[in-house]
Structure 1
Amino acid sequence: MKTIKSIYLAPLVYYSLVILILLFILAFVFPFVFNFALLFTSIFGLLLVTDIFILYGTPKGIFARRAVPERLSNGDTNAISIYLENHYALGMSLEVIDEIPFQFQKRDLLFLTQLASETTQIIQYTLRPTKRGEYSFGAVNIFVKSPLGLLKKRYQFSQEKTVAVYPSFLQMREYELKALSNRLTETGIKKIRRIGHSQEFEQIRQYVQGDDIRTINWQATARRSELMVNTFQDEKSQNIYCLIDKGRVMKMPFEGLSLLDYAINSTLVLANIALQKQDKAGVITFSNKIDQTLLADRKAGQLVKILDLLYKQKTLYSETDYEAVYIHTKKYLKQRSLLICYTNFDTLSSMKRQLPFFRKLAKEHLVLVVFFENTSLKTLLQTQPTTTEEIYQKTIAEKYFYEKQLIVKELEKFGIQALLTTPQNLSINTINKYLMLKARGAI
């Protein structure tokens, strides 16, 4: 019974049956055609038996195995591969159907390939998840067709596997490698010119042409009878907190990902860079109340804790309460810190409702408010209106676009750092801002 279920008829069988039926019909009018119909039927039956023998005569036949990472990176293209082996004595035509998770909504993932006898092949494809969570892969189905092309044999390799989709750790690794090799400028990270110097003394060394003459140590110069300068190092162990708004304003989608997912991916990248800079990284998530808090630290397992915390975050669809954020930070953050708040404001009035709490936070910490440009409005502004309706739409778009600029000016007027960015450039612009503030010694 299992063998019968694995047999599938190829289109060539149906074409042959149609020809046989036509021949037998013609035989009623032209009797001599009957002999040709019988001959064709015999040859067709012999070819079917031969095809069954070819497909089922080799015990091993085809072997397949899917290689999928233990976890996938959200918003990135993740490589998946299928390994194939042909143990038949002949070259075979293969149809490979992989049962990928339902979240991708793809039912046409079909690969056609030719595989020579006793050879192997690797089929590679990519998947781009847009939601965090668990994704379940099903079986790998292989339909084998011999050179005769009459029948197909199905091989099903049960490789059910559940993998977790985490925040974008591929993006994190990319920035980490470039940070370690001082190649961040290739991805758009600006090279920040340091203004002044920090107060952490490192060493006294001999003057080299180009050194700041203000750092000359005159006492050491008198003792050594040559110019000596003081050198300083970047201040370390500064607290960096990423505050992630999980309210309904962060549910807005952009290229498949919500603004919350962009904020989570950026938080992971920024936390890793901060830890590389010997700073302490922490996370606070909130909406109408404080959800989770991970105090800033730079121990070995801090990045793993941040990754696990970010993996579980979901939009809460409620109005954000910044008063609760202020009370929480007042209670738990005793040291001056850089607070990077990922949120979104569409109008100036919505920001002004929260401005008193940002001002209170800014008295004790350095606050950076990160919010998003509406790229659809930007596209609309670049079009030339032709109808009255389009003129109204462009006028409203200009109003909202201008209000975003006013929000930045209003925040900066009260000494609050502001960053207006597109979602796809969020990580780059946030890192640039962090490095700039650190270089200026603002933290």
Structure 2
Amino acid sequence: MSPAPRAVAILAALALSALLIPIGIVALLALALVGAVAVDARAARRAPQVQRRAPEVLSRGVPAPLKVTATAPAGGSVRVRQGAPASVEVTPREGESLDATVVARRRGRHVLPAVATRATGPLKLARWDHKASEPTTLRVFPDLHTARRLALAVARGRFRDQGATARGPLGLGTEFELIRDYEPDDDIRQVNWRATARLGRPMSNHYRLEQDRDLILLIDAGRLSTAPLADATILDAELDAAVALAFVADELGDRTGTVAFDDEVRVVLPPQRKGGQAVVRALYDLEASPVDSDFELAFRRAEGSKRALVVVLCDLLEEAATRPLVRAVPVLTRRHAVVVASPSDPALEAIARAAPTDRLSHARATVANDVLAARARAAAQVRAAGARVIEAPPEKLPATLVAQYLRAKSRAIL
């Protein structure tokens, strides 16, 4: 319990009035104030009824609604305050009620504390602080919004890769299905010239992509993946891309498997149909470890499956750090089509491109260009080992990998 500002102001006024009126009267008034504060505190002591509607599941970086309402004591008032851990933002945090948004900046499990309330009595002389509700555990997943958007675009034929539209989950495909009227977005290779001549109008061969293919996601959760990138980490960018690929594979009827690793194998999911949600549940709270990753150990866990598109998500920092990856790539390329995907750093590229204005900016640009050159050499070594290398900023990596996946299917690489 604490006195409200009104009680403090009245007490200060009584203290000043002691200079003008008899002290006995001031004492009686002070006693009356104490009694009124006690009565008001008794009313404020009753805990207000609080209702909180908080999401149990969020996607990293995607706002979600949070509502808190409270019923004040009779004649009184109440304010609520919602605390949050450092990795979770609640806006606004305080008010008579809250119609707020909550944004989690990190994946995993986070505890949203109980709502704190401050009830003020009907006389507005006393306040009482309460803890209402119970702490809530928030499960923060990778960026499901982007994953679902890309999967829906592929399913509806609206996925665009650098201006080209992949019509439905079909592309050029590898299995003939039917002959239909030519459409403006059809590839010229689809035109059936014999049917066109016979019917007098352009006709196209319609192919469908083969299903029941395997997509294996190998996720490096070692030391290099702990590095910060934008407002997240390298591992966050890797998982956002992995989830997007898994959701698109679900739409295309393929099987998705996952191996997450550092110096040991930490997660193994065998290829399965509709594996997207399994990937999310298995990896959403995965944290990178400050150890060097054992690529060969992880790759041997994936080499025994049937031919698949294997996507290795890792950071291509420089040649020395990439050497274990380069040595391990042939373990996979003997049987599988291998893509090594690495999130690039737009901030680093901006520093490298910026025109220096002083000695410090010149030094920064020199270092940035050295880092980018080292990454390029590392990527070249990986390509020489037999893998395709894809680099893209974190926000573009999911779509870039989806485009590569669709190309692999349409060209029968899988």
* TM-score in same-fold range (> 0.5): yes
Say which SS state the counterpart of residue 253 (structure 2) adopts: coil
Matches within 5 A, 1:297-308: 297-299=272-274, 302-308=275-281
The match for 1:82 among 62, 68, 73 is: 68
- Amino acid of the structure 2 residue aligned with 1:340: V
The answer on whether the counterparts of 1:80 and 1:126 sit within 8 Å (CA) in structure 2 is yes
Aligned counterpart, 1:94: 78
Matches within 5 A, 1:8-87: 8-24=2-18, 26=19, 33-35=20-22, 56=42, 62-86=48-72
Q: How far off is 1:240 after superposition?
A: 0.9
TM-score for the superposition, normalised by structure 2? 0.82
Aligned counterpart, 2:235: 260
- Quick one: distance in 2 between partners of 1:328 and 1:339? 12
Matches within 5 A, 1:131-280: 131-133=107-109, 135-145=110-120, 148-185=123-160, 191-192=164-165, 197-205=172-180, 207-208=181-182, 216=192, 230-280=205-255
Q: How far off is 1:236 after superposition?
A: 1.6
- Amino acid of the structure 1 residue aligned with 2:80: V
Identify if the C-alpha distance between structure 1 residues 132 and 49 changes in structure 2 by more than 3 Å, giving closer, same or farther.
same
Say which SS state the counterpart of residue 350 (structure 1) adopts: helix
Identity of aligned residues (%): 19
The answer on whether the counterparts of 2:176 and 2:205 sit within 8 Å (CA) in structure 1 is yes
The answer on whether the counterparts of 2:237 and 2:343 sit within 8 Å (CA) in structure 1 is no
Aligned counterpart, 1:343: 314
Aligned counterpart, 1:313: 286
- Quick one: distance in 2 between partners of 1:18 and 1:225? 98
- Quick one: distance in 2 between partners of 1:233 and 1:105? 44
- Quick one: distance in 1 between partners of 2:268 and 2:342? 21
The answer on whether the counterparts of 1:250 and 1:344 sit within 8 Å (CA) in structure 2 is yes
5+ residue gaps, structure 2: none
- Amino acid of the structure 2 residue aligned with 1:283: T
Matching of residue 324 in structure 1 with residue 307 in structure 2: no
Q: Which structure has the bigger radius of gyration?
A: 1
Q: How far off is 1:8 after superposition?
A: 2.0
- Amino acid of the structure 1 residue aligned with 2:276: L
The answer on whether the counterparts of 1:78 and 1:128 sit within 8 Å (CA) in structure 2 is no
- Amino acid of the structure 1 residue aligned with 2:296: E
Q: How far off is 1:155 after superposition?
A: 4.0
TM-score for the superposition, normalised by structure 1? 0.77
The answer on whether the counterparts of 1:246 and 1:316 sit within 8 Å (CA) in structure 2 is yes
5+ residue gaps, structure 1: 1-6, 27-32, 114-120
Say which SS state the counterpart of residue 127 (structure 1) adopts: strand
- Quick one: distance in 2 between partners of 1:63 and 1:123? 17
Moved more, 41-50 or 388-397: 41-50
> CA RMSD of the aligned region, Å?
3.8
Moved more, 14-23 or 250-259: 14-23
- Amino acid of the structure 1 residue aligned with 2:13: I
Q: How far off is 1:170 after superposition?
A: 4.2
Q: How far off is 1:367 after superposition?
A: 1.0
